[in-house]
Chains A and B, each alone.
Chain A
């Protein structure tokens, strides 16, 4: 039996980040995967980022993770979403090269000195005191004190296409058989979720002339704060629509659709419905938009976004051909639905450690989430905490006010989820503070503290802070009241001032931004668009940011009130029965977390906070 400090099961987006975090903090780490060809595989759409997800990628990056760097490196096209709707909701979205993404991540793993990447399917886990022993399908055994499970959608997974059911993982990879049973034996509760993916088409068979082209942005940002050179747009996407005929074909064949006929028992995500679900639920909608996205520069395959289905393959052919521009389309891979086992995430602490077994962590889709970014975010936290566990140090919990990662983990471990959980900006109550542009300022120090932020990254970060300070200092200077200033104001439809004023105050005017000032006055030595933009947002939104900071302050007071793990809820008089049941089940770590559990009222919290205080005093 081989011994490691830590073992990570699964080399998807969660597993890779977890393994890298563990190895980079000095742990001898084994990363086991069912197939080395499935490492960091973009099994569904060939894209990284998007609303809220872009923020997650930049947060992973600021903590010292890998996803942002590789997304930048392998991007085929990059765009900023929500331009003009406010800085809080602007997010990057990149078309990623699926093959390159896999290859690049695999290279990084292979070149990490403490990391051992190995093909092998885990079929059983045993816990002996502190040790976790895993057994693979070929009978090999490995042991480690820390274990991270990041099995993605592979647990007892089944692919469904019409009447055809196959016990495989995504994209025809082998599935994981036996591990689910082993988890149940450890007392872990599982549920069954479902998701799906659309067809892949051959590029030569598409009539692009009937579609609308979608290009990348010209002034391009990046996910990673380490990426030096801007990303080049190397590919375009196309927008097209379903037709009445598409809808007719689907309606006529609903009896053959497993998602509709009830053959699929797994719970699918509301935000990622199959095309047949869309047509049933939104019957009035005359057409649905579809995007054609390139899968990779090294293939002709195209991903048809918006056309996820589990219809029989024969019908899929007709459906595709009814779409504008796809009249002669060649399908290269069929669309499918996939069902899989995942755990009920309320069994985890906000550290992603299982409440009942110390040293056993869970990350990614096994926790009932969906998305590469959500997986990567949990992966890095599980990796960080597995390392802290091994070192006997206090584990890291990002708060809801620190990061989207904090919101994500708090949501799933506190409220659970009854569908694959997707990050949305509307889930973050402190959205104005959790921006993509300031992820590094929010999290680099934390990443440094847990040992993941390299000297190089840290130096870059400090330099950036200095530059921002310089920009802010320049804004403290006054602009003299003269004709130039008055014309400048008038040009931007602002009432001219009566006396000289600080540039900072000029910047507060609604119609003037930092770039206007730079253009007219050239006061900054800085030409970096991103840096200027950061300062611009910071000052223009000062008042609102302050409001959110005050809200956070209130929340943090309750966040500091910790509840001991063995707190006895049962014998409390004064708490309502429903509240007791919920609290028993979730076992919140703080009063703030308790207050977010649905079914726990403000009065319950009032009482609980007194009792918690009381019991902590008795304990002393």
Chain B
């Protein structure tokens, strides 16, 4: 069996249910790291109900089926998760599988494996080739080089820097007896730090770019009567652009969106908020908490004129690891509550600072100035590669007393990963550089 791969196998954003599929070695093992159910033993071709741990302590209901090789579509072990539809959540499940050892599948890869394992017939082979070609062409069109010259330049430069670094390391390994200044670890680390910073920058911008494309999901939480619904209404206010059931948010929740500074902002699970405001004092905390999972940003709304309650604390605890804007409402009354981080004082009643709050939401995630030609990686796979590079760099930093051969191996891996973006994986380039930079030889 080949290395495990994962992909969403239902069309994105349509339908109430999404299926995320893994195929390959150890995929049941990977699945069971994240899927919790009461059954001790997982039998093939039975459906199990359980919980997926999406993030620390955050669970999603899920159905899981396991197909044991060779009795599966690909002929390998397959695990499928059926989850409630919605792009964000589905994407998160994929990310979860990747974090636990899967690689995102390439176009046509499941079918290709199915074919290699004689699961589908010959005539289908041509179709798969078409699929791969289409993807390659598609990638070429949307590829770095054509649509994003600057980014290509930047990533190429990053790889070039690494080529230089590798040449220096390799020369000291292959030509130890020559008189040049041998590379020291400090220099290697310094260069890697630089590259990591660059990567981080690109990742950050690209993620901002993602928000530009998909909008920012914002959840409003807070105990009853702090003014969630009035803030919601003020936010939507005259800017209200779309009132619709947005695809790719959450199960049966209702989202409403508006545009600010050209960015779409999706307010999720507004149904819950509206409901609780109608039914006074029927505490909507649980409802609010549910919407948190889906959110890029959480607006934690508190009544500034009242002391903090136990419920507030509870909500606060559940918001760890989230981007939170602390919204202090009712500033038309004297303030009692203590100062918070990332806070903004508003008055929904008098509509003060609402526009500032909108600015804050946008600026919170779109941290970099993005113009039409800035460096946005739209290919998720590419963003993932840069993240993998970063964690390899982190690994190098974390090894105490690493010998140069090990460091070289890890840097080479980073170099190869970047090569998957730039298309350059020719080892010969490093060797050529060694000879052009250094005077070597007997």
Expressed in whole angstroms, the minimum distance between the Cβ of B241 and any Cβ of chain A is: 41
Within 8 A of B (CB), among A546-577: 547-548, 554, 557, 574
Number of interface residues of B (CB under 8 A): 47
With A426-B431, A607-B132 as known contacts, state yes or no: A89 contacts B440, CB within 8 Å. Answer: no
Provide the bound-state CA to CA distance between A21 and B7, in Å: 52
Per a CB cutoff under 8 Å, which of A431, A544, A598, A614 touches B426? Answer: A598
B441 touches A574 (CB 8 A): no
Residue of B nearest to A553 (CB): B3
Asked if A271 and B112 make an inter-chain contact with CB atoms under 8 angstroms apart, the answer reads no
A617 to B133, CA, bound (A): 23
Closest B residue to A617 by CB, please name it: B122
A271, B433: Cα distance in complex, Å: 12
Cβ distance B414 to chain A, nearest Cβ, rounded Å: 13
A610 touches B115 (CB 8 A): yes
What 1/0 mask marks residues of chain A from 328 to 361 whose CB sits below 8 Å from any chain B CB? 0000000000000000000000000000000000
A271 touches B440 (CB 8 A): yes
Q: Mark B1-28, 1 if CB is under 8 A from A, else 0.
A: 0110000000000000000000000000
The contact of A271 among B3, B136, B428, B435, by CB within 8 Å, is B435
A86 and B125 form a contact (CB under 8 A): no
Are B174 and A613 touching (Cβ within 8 A)? no
A306 lies within 8 A of chain B by Cβ: yes
A427 at the interface (CB under 8 A from B): yes
When each residue 25-44 of chain A gets 1 if its CB lies under 8 Å from chain B and 0 otherwise, what string results?
Answer: 00000000000000000001
Q: Which residues of B contact A278 (CB under 8 A)?
A: 439, 441
| Interface hit among B89-97, B295-303, B321-329, B396-404 | B396-404
Taking a contact as CB atoms under 8 Å apart, the answer to whether A81 and B176 are in contact is: yes
Which partner residue on chain B sits nearest A575 by CB separation?
Answer: B129
- A518 and B405 CA atoms in complex are apart in Å by 26
Partner of B435 from A270, A510, A601, A609 at Cβ < 8 Å: A270
Assess whether A425 is in contact with B174, with CB atoms less than 8 Å apart.
Answer: yes
Note all chain B residues with C-beta closer than 8 A to A598: 426, 428
**Closest approach, in angstroms, between the C-beta of A612 and any C-beta of chain B?**
10
Which one of A144-152, A281-289, A453-461, A520-528 is at the interface?
A: A281-289
The 8 A CB mask of B121-153 against A (1 = contact, 0 = none) is 010010011001100100000000000000000
Question: Which residues of B lie under 8 Å from residue A119 when comparing CB positions?
Answer: none
Does residue A611 face the partner (Cβ distance < 8 Å to B)?
yes
- B32 CB-CB contact with A under 8 Å: no
CB closest chain-A residue, reference B166: A426
Q: Please indicate the chain B residues that have their CB under 8 angstroms from the CB of A282 in the complex.
A: 439
User: B436 → chain A, closest Cβ, in Å?
Assistant: 8
Any B CB within 8 A of the CB of A500: no
- Chain A positions within 8 Å of B401 at CB level: 510-511
Interface string of A571-610 (1 = CB under 8 A from B): 0001000000000000000000000001001010011011
| Interface band, chain A | 35 or more
CB distance from B43 to the nearest CB of A (A): 28
Q: Are A305 and B442 in contact (CB under 8 A)?
A: yes
Q: Which residue of B lies closest to A430 (CB)?
A: B409
* Residue pair A427, B173 in contact (C-beta under 8 Å): no
Which residues in window 499-524 of A have CB below 8 A to B?
A: 510-511
A28: min CB distance to chain B, Å: 39
Tell me whether A610 and B173 are in contact (CB under 8 A).
no
- Interface residue B350 (Cβ < 8 Å from any Cβ of A): no
B406 within 8 A of A: yes
Bound complex: CA A49 to CA B139 (Å): 47
Residues of B with C-beta under 8 A to A198? 442
The smallest beta-carbon distance between B254 and chain A, in angstroms, is 43
Residues 43-81 of chain A: 1 if any B CB is under 8 Å from the residue's CB, otherwise 0?
011000001100000000000000000000000000001
Least Cβ distance of B168 to chain A in Å? 11
Would you give the 0/1 interface string for B91-119, flagging 1 where the beta carbon is closer than 8 Å to chain A? Answer: 00000000000000010100010011010
A614 B122 Cβ-Cβ under 8 A? yes
Least Cβ distance of A596 to chain B in Å? Answer: 9
B-side residues, CB < 8 A to A, are: 2-3, 106, 108, 112, 115-116, 118, 122, 125, 128-129, 132-133, 136, 166, 170, 172-179, 400-401, 403-406, 408-409, 412, 423, 426-428, 430-432, 434-435, 439-442
Instruction: List 5 A-B pairs, minimum CB-CB distance, nearest first.
Output: A86-B403, A86-B405, A88-B405, A270-B435, A426-B170
- Given A308-B441, A547-B409, 4 more pairs with CB closer than 8 A: A81-B176, A601-B423, A606-B106, A606-B112
For this complex, 23 residue pairs linking A to B, each with C-beta atoms less than 8 Å apart, are A84-B403, A85-B403, A86-B404, A86-B405, A87-B405, A270-B441, A273-B441, A305-B442, A306-B442, A308-B442, A425-B174, A426-B170, A427-B431, A431-B409, A432-B409, A511-B401, A606-B132, A609-B112, A610-B112, A610-B125, A613-B125, A617-B122, A618-B122
Q: Footprint of B on A, CB under 8 Å?
A: 44-45, 51-52, 81-82, 84-89, 198, 269-273, 278, 281-282, 285, 288-289, 291, 305-306, 308, 415, 424-427, 429, 431-432, 510-511, 541, 544, 547-548, 554, 557, 574, 598, 601, 603, 606-607, 609-611, 613-614, 617-618
